[in-house]
Homo-oligomer: A and B are copies of this chain.
Amino acid sequence: MKQNKITIIYCPGCRWLTRASWISQELLTTFEKEITELALCPSEIAGTFQVFVNDKIIHCRKKNQGFPELKILKQKVRSIICPDKNLGHSE
């Protein structure tokens, strides 16, 4: 099975664990067959919220001026790990 790792780096001081955990459950549900590992990592730098797919950054709260919109995030993940997958509601 192809290894696909998603990493979410979040600021624990900003109380963003809950948001990171929500996103992780959404991704692990939508991509149940494709994601082999989803890592939640407390950040060392305050204000961090970043999402990586196989070490490629796909969202940065600072650069993208806000949190990821779930539908768009799922489309970005799909384009990297399973381009042919239909996302149903998230299309």
A79 sits at the interface (CB 8 A): no
Question: Closest residue to A25 on the B side, CB-wise?
Answer: B21
Within 8 Å of chain B (Cβ to Cβ): is A40? yes
Number of copies of chain A assembled together: 2
Nearest Cβ distance between residue A16 and chain B, in whole angstroms?
A: 11
Measured CB to CB, the closest approach of chain B to A21, in angstroms, equals 5
Best-buried of A1, A42, A44 by chain B (most CB within 10 Å): A42
- A82: interface (CB < 8 Å): no
Stretch at the interface among A31-39, A52-60, A70-78, A83-91: A31-39
Residue positions of A touching B, CB distance < 8 A: 1, 12, 17-18, 21, 24-25, 28-29, 32, 35-42, 44
